């Protein structure tokens, strides 16, 4: 009996008699993941709104007599007349290393069945991008492991490099290869105990993709041992448009935690075309006026405020962004592609024709560019690959001219043959990124003419043989190339001797 009395006394003691101010309203209409609300006079733009049953909404339209709100989560239980209330908080997601190796939804809730995530910190989903003063110029390389990109279109830490091309040209593969390469470098670097080594943590944001594709991506990362350094943010096609709209911002918040804490992170947005479509869907339901291609007028701001959050900060870390955009029939002049091209620091353009010819990765040398350029390359890559882009672009022009069958002089023939060999050399299977020291060694062999006597159709086989020779028998030399990061006369002589040794044992 005394226990019951004690409980009643405790409840009376805890009773608060002071007035509590609440801003409540009711649902006017709810449809397609969007609710129109009445009575929320004190609501702020982008504020979280609490719905019955635990669903959360974000106030996007603040009109004179009603509020337009997108709902995150299950909307099936909500009905007209239900009471809603403001929270006074911006939407936040859990952040930190505890998320590595996990798959989460747009709100940071686990979706991989591995139990709850015990995150100590949260970051707001929408944050103002770092200003000019706190930024530092991009000069540290971020190696993708893809020879064609690292040698001709280098990416630096803190850069935003767009991957653009038609459907099925290998855009996601390039992003996944880059994530796998970071994980491989992390393992080598952390095992070496080098105090200067800075690991790169990855965030992969899947927007509007089929669940089966997301599972396949996770399986590829797990098989390559990269999942432990990666966070997966999934907003599949089955999710409502609000989740697809929020997902990239959630991923950016998770990446910003690494950047703010002096670490380096890489974020892949796959893909922003579907993100823009989800936002268009929300905007049209909210009765916002539509503009070009039925997109709302602020669709440029949608992506610019997301991508500007990637930076290299002075005295802190960096966040590198690889947004992906899908084109239709190679049309880079469409609305969303031109928007994102103007926001980013360069683009890797993938061509359908090259992909169909078996040139994979199908990187178009003419249309691809890195606005950071060789500032984000190590000196060794500049030394062996500095002229490659020009040679390859020249080869493409000459090849187009030579197909008319006119007689060619010796110089043109040699340029065509060299270009054809470079094209073959850059062919690389999916999910097989190459360490930079191996890339430098193979490009050195190309530069010094070791592949000139090999038939063009056997170049891929010869390059594979050379890579195997270096990894199995010249491990110390590869380590020297990696640690020096520039080729002096002594190192060049060693590479020349190693290539001579390989040439004597290799029979084409």
Residues belonging to the active site: 371
CB contact at 8 A, 132 and 353: no
Task: Tell me whether residue 297 is annotated as binding.
Answer: no
Gyration radius of the chain over CA positions:
27
What is the torsional sign of CA 46, 284, 105, 172? Answer: negative
Task: Tell me whether residue 165 is annotated as binding.
Answer: yes
What is the torsional sign of CA 303, 306, 310, 311? Answer: positive
Q: Which residues of 313-330 are buried (b: 16+ CB within 10 A; e: fewer)?
A: beebbbbbbbbbbbbeeb
Task: Tell me whether residue 171 is annotated as binding.
Answer: yes
Beta-strand pair 318-327/230-235? unpaired
Task: Tell me whether residue 170 is annotated as binding.
Answer: yes
- Which residue do the tokens 């504020």 mark? 47
Q: What are phi and psi of 55, to 5 degrees?
A: -70, 150
Nearest to 322 by CA among 393, 262, 251: 251
- Interior angle at CA 200, CA 337 and CA 479, nearest 5: 115
Ranges of H-type helices in 202-356? 211-223, 241-260, 272-285, 299-307, 335-343, 352-356
Give the rounded distance of the alpha carbon of 281 from its chain centre. Answer: 24
Nearest to 197 by CA among 208, 186, 207, 205: 186
| Euclidean distance between the first and the last CA atom of the chain, given in angstroms as a whole number | 95
- What DSSP character marks residue 147? H
Task: Tell me whether residue 353 is annotated as binding.
Answer: no
Nearest to 272 by CA among 243, 241, 303: 303
Binding residue numbers: 165-172
Binding residue numbers for ATP: 165-172
């Amino acid at each position: 009996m005394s226990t019951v009395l004690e409980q009643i006394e405790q409840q009376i003691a805890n009773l608060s008699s002071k007035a509590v101010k609440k801003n409540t309203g009711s649902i006017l209409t709810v449809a397609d993941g969007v609710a129109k609300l009445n009575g929320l006079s004190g609501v702020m733009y982008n504020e979280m709104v609490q719905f019955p049953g635990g669903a959360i909404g974000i106030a996007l339209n603040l009109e004179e007599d009603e509020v337009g709100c997108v709902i995150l989560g299950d909307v099936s239980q909500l009905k007209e007349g239900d009471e809603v209330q403001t929270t006074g908080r911006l939407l936040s997601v859990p952040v930190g290393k505890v998320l590595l190796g996990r798959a989460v939804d747009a709100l940071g809730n686990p979706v991989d069945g591995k139990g709850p995530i015990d995150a100590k910190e949260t970051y707001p989903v929408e944050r103002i991008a770092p200003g000019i003063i706190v930024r530092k110029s991009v000069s540290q390389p971020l190696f993708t492991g893809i020879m064609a990109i690292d040698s001709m279109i280098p990416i630096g830490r803190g850069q935003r490099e767009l991957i653009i091309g038609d459907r099925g040209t290998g855009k996601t593969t390039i992003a996944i290869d880059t994530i796998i390469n970071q994980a491989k470098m992390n393992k080598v670097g952390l095992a070496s105990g080098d105090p200067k080594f800075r690991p790169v943590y990855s965030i992969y944001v899947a927007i509007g993709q089929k669940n089966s594709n997301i599972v396949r991506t996770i399986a590829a990362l797990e098989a390559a041992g990269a999942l432990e350094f990666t966070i997966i943010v999934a907003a599949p096609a089955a999710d409502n448009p609000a989740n697809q709209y929020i997902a990239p911002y959630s991923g950016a918040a998770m990446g910003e935690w690494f950047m703010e804490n002096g670490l380096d992170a890489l974020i892949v947005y796959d893909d922003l075309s579907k993100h823009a479509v989800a936002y268009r869907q929300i905007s049209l339901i909210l009765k916002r006026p539509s503009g070009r291609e039925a997109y709302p007028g602020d669709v440029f701001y949608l992506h610019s405020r997301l991508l500007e959050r990637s930076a290299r900060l002075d005295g802190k870390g960096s966040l590198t962004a690889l947004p992906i955009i899908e084109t239709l029939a190679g049309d880079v002049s469409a609305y969303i592609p031109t928007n994102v091209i103007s926001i980013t620091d360069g683009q890797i353009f993938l061509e359908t024709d090259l992909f169909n010819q078996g040139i994979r990765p199908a990187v178009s040398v003419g249309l691809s560019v890195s606005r950071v350029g060789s500032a984000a390359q190590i000196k060794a890559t500049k030394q062996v690959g500095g002229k490659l882009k020009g040679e390859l672009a020249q080869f493409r022009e000459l090849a187009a001219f030579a197909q008319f069958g006119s007689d060619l002089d010796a110089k043109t023939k040699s340029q065509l043959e060299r270009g054809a060999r470079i094209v073959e050399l850059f062919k690389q299977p999916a999910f097989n990124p190459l360490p930079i020291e191996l890339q430098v060694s193979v490009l050195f062999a190309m530069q010094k003419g070791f592949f000139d006597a090999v038939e063009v159709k056997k170049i891929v086989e010869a390059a594979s043989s050379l890579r195997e020779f270096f990894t199995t028998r010249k491990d110390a030399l590869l380590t020297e190339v990696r640690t020096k990061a520039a080729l002096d006369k002594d190192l060049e002589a060693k590479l020349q001797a190693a290539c001579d040794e390989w040439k004597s044992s290799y029979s084409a």
